[in-house]
Amino acid sequence: MVFFVLALIAAIFGFGGIAAGAATIGKILFVGFLALAVLSLVAGRRPTLRT
């Protein structure tokens, strides 16, 4: 979220390179956290093995 806001502010002021870099980092972090959320959802739904 921070990189998204940083990209918006940089784009408003005309810093294209900084905005593109922040947007790229934001996209990478978004996909990474989305993958972690899906993995934790799947792992949480698995039944535990009781012996």
pLDDT tens, residue by residue, 5-50: 777 787 787 777 777 787 788 888 889 999 999 999 988 887 777 7
Among 37, 30, 7, 4, CA closest to 19: 7
Give domain status of residue 15, yes or no.
Answer: yes
Give domain status of residue 50, yes or no.
Answer: no
Q: What is the pLDDT of residue 35?
A: 94
Give the chain's domain count.
Answer: 1
Q: What is the pLDDT of residue 34?
A: 92
Give domain status of residue 51, yes or no.
Answer: no
Q: What is the pLDDT of residue 37?
A: 92
Tokens of 49: 């093995």
Judge contact between 18 and 30, C-beta under 8 A: no
User: Per-residue confidence at 51, pLDDT binned at 50, 70, 90?
Assistant: low
Which residue range forms the structural domain that includes residue 18? 2-45
Tokens of 17: 């390179």
Judge contact between 29 and 3, C-beta under 8 A: yes
